[in-house]
Structure 1
Amino acid sequence: MDRQYDNRRTIYWICVLALFIAAFANSVRAGAAGAMKAALLDPIDAQHSGEMIGTVLGNSFLGFAISLLVISPLLDRIGAKRIVLFAAACFIVGPALVLLAGSSGSSVVLLLNVAMVIWGFGWGATEASINPVIASAYSEEKTGKLNALHAWWPAGLIVGGLLSVLFFKSLNLPWQALVGLCIVPAVALAVWASRHTFPVTESTVAGVSFGDMMAEPFKRPGFWVFFFIMFLVASSELAPGAWVDVSLSNTVGMSGILVLVYVSAIMFVMRHFAGALAHRFSDMGLLLMCTVPAAIGLYMLSQANSPVTALVAATVWAFGVCFMWPTMLAAVSRRYPRSGSWGIGLLGFAGALAIYFVLPQLGAIYDRAKLEAAGGDAAFASLQAGPEMQRVLAYAAEQSFQAIAVIPVILFFIFGAVWLVERRKRGNDDGTSIGTPL
């Protein structure tokens, strides 16, 4: 039993490292986005480079979505260990291709997009494997343990963000140095994971056949409510996180990536309290409460015009989104355990697909707004760095953040409806239980 516990603990920390690397890579992409845009995309089409970098960044989420969808149902057949090793390989190849993009001539946009898809494959493979593994290994405390695991997502964002500032602001290093650094922990993950045996998932332990696992979400219409909700949850948390450097750096007087670092620090601390909060309020109750500060925080970010106002807005937003993603995973795993890794993977797929569509739209909104504020393409092209450019970019940031602030408002009503339906099904329950399937 002690040996089994020790192995469970080791597997947990391997999963932590895998998720940390995925987050670190996300933070590096966000931190280097402005420099990559300026060096690689502005010379091609400065008027529409915001949409172009949004599309490039969004392709990492496309890779995330594809690998989640393909790998999740096959996790136990392929083996979690092989999937983690595949993730490590993608975390090496993805940044390596980004480094080659600068010297690829006319193929720079194509190579950047391919690189981001492969990089995203690693992230998707990570989520497809570690979430079901931890849900199975810690079946008695899913919400708390999955939130504790996902606390290391913001930890990776913090390290990546701080290194972005260090490399670009203090050491004045090129963006390629930061991207190349992502390869180092990926090698460590490959070596560590190769030495250990991973457990099978919860559905396999329960004897659920592959066919039954695949059919379970389609037998349960309520599952697709959570699938749709996850689309909106990801748009409230991950899309703004990937957008802060591009949109805020020129409008609040500080690096946008530092705002992301600050938000991530709050999330790292708060996620360790998720288990107790979910027990007290139920997972739906917790998610319902999160939507209010999420909406207010995003709107406040649209109005931020100084470091102080940006940090205040980020604080409110962080308290809103910190529990959303892992609590959604735990909620579905608890309500639909027979869906196993496939159910959790479908939920992650919904989140990734959302960002793939949302980020380019944010970029397009940003571009339209900056051209509108400047008075057209020609007027924008003639602008120089200074107060007028600052005003134009501030307006563009305001419009992009206000567009996404609507999503948590929608979630408030959806979570409220789910909470009421489940509460009614429980009859005279006191409201503190975790929840039942719709």
Structure 2
Amino acid sequence: MKTVFAHYRTQTKLQLAVVISFVLVLIPLLLVLDVSLKQSVVVILITLCAAWFISGLLTQSVSSGIQALETGLLNFKDGEFSSLLAYDAPDELGRLCHIYNQTADHLRQEKQWIYQRELMLDKVLQSSPQALVLIDSNDYVVFSNHSANRLFNSEHKLEGLQREELYNAANEQIKQAMEAGRDGLFHLQHEKDESETWHLSTGQFLLNNHQHRLYIFKQLTRELSRQEVAVWKKVIRIISHELNNSLGPMSSMLHSGKLLSQNVDEPRLGRVFSTLQERISHLNEFVQGYGKFAKLPLPKLELLDWQSILSNVQQQYAFKLDGHVPKHRCFADHIQLEQLLINLLKNAHESGSKPKEIVVSIENKQSGTVISVIDAGPGMSEAVMASALIPFYSTKASGSGLGLALCREIAEAHHGQLSLHNRSGGKTGLVVKVFLPHVK
């Protein structure tokens, strides 16, 4: 019997219960009253129809409430929390529907908050300078950001690629670092650009009950350079301080010596004093030059007048401008940028290049301005190029080793970068590129 009624709706079951109850009460009553069989059948049929109709009316609200709850729970199952139940009768089902509506409202707010947090997290991860790649237990990429696309030389999203497909366009050093499966530094060697230092962090965790491995790539080239420059600046400040402490008394004693020897007839003293004065002046210039590098002020950004800058620089060092004077808007420190060009052009002239062979080009890119200074000298070997931007390093007998280091410091103070390249296409010479990002 239980199996027979199991598939009926609750309202039908209630109606059947009412009808059966009426029949069970009516039959003994008819037997007591000694009613004919025909009359008994008619009374029973009329009673059944009336009982069925009246019980249907009384249980209709129960059926509506249960259907509303069923629809709402199906919405919950589909993750839809925006639909509310209209059933509000003052009974137990009405109270259940009211609790359902409160729960749906709470879940909807939670869902919106989680969605907003996911959007914010995705924005942060996509904007991160660190390259992020998440690979599942089947070796498929399930998440990556824009930095990862650039690192793996892909114009399209990496999601959906297998690990081996991910390695196709990537550098061999990246593959080796990922396959090693441990944290540490590795170097990317490009064909034309200088070597880059990267740090790889890896980690495993469960996501949707499946093991995933996260790879985080962080470029350390600029950070290491900044730390290296900071150490050199500290050394320079110490040296400059000690030299200044000695040069002051030496100048004073030299002046006193000149006064005391005015009445002494000794021609050699004049040569001695002259040599001492020359060396003290040279040391002063030395200290001032290094102090300029160690205490470079923050750039004062202003709209550049390229015509003025190029004219001022060309008065000191001749060069040929590749193209016209740029008209695009660029914000930088006028004085520092002029000093940068002077240093680069001085090096180009000292490379043995003729003035007409030295070319300056200024290009406007989507992300910033690229200044290139090209000469026709012998270029640089890999060993020299690797050390050329280090303070004090110089291949010239009379060089201070600060020209290129100061240029790099100016470029990085503008959040840009400086790079060295030998000319391609069988031509000899050096190309120095300075990138200055657009000010947002």
Greater per-residue strand proportion: 2
Q: Which has the higher helix share?
A: 1
Scaled to the shorter chain, the TM-score interval is: under 0.3
Larger Rg: 2
TM-score of the two chains, using structure 2 as the length reference? 0.18
Please report the TM-score for the alignment, with normalisation by the length of structure 1.
0.18
The structure whose RCO (Cα within 8 Å, separation 6+) is larger is 1
